[in-house]
Amino acid sequence: NGATKGLKQAHPDRVLGMHSCAPVPLRSLVEIVRALDTSDETANEARAFTERLGKQTIETKDRSGFIVNFLLIPYLMAAVRMYEEDFASREDIDEGMRLGCGHPMGPLTLCDFIGLDVLYAVCDSLYEEFKRPEYAPPPLLKRMVVSGHPGRKVGNGFYDYSWRKLGR
């Protein structure tokens, strides 16, 4: 917006980004994203503010995906491709990572939780910047989003969440 543009031009040392993972109340992490000209003072102020909120910080440079999504998206898209190619059932893919790696939920459940539409947008952003195939959204992901199956928030994605609509 205009205010941000003005700040960037007048005080580029005072500009940074902060990224929280959803759901924000349940996640303790905030990524502090330093722009090219962000000062140490600005980063330290952001870190102190975040800690006052009871959150922990990590720091990254400004690029698509930051740290968390840069690592997470290829993992999630590999699971989507695996399911799309009928390599394994969605349940076995999820249970493999839950039981075999100690993840709190499997990758396809996590996709539904995040929202397939959100993931598609993140994939587009990452692929646009890096042009690496692991960031390209799989065709199944696009078909699900276009067909109105964006995940848990509307009751369907890789799994059926219609029970949520019934208030159970």
Burial 23-50 (b: 16+ CB within 10 A, else e): eeeeeeebbbbbbeebbeebbeebbeeb
Q: Which of 11, 19, 103, 149 is catalytic?
A: 19
Residue 103 annotated among the catalytic residues of the structure: no
Measuring CA to CA, which residue among 10, 74, 14 is closest to residue 40?
14
137: amino acid identity, one letter: P
Q: Which of 126, 105, 91, 100 is nearest to 23 (CA)?
A: 105
Residues labelled as active-site residues:
19
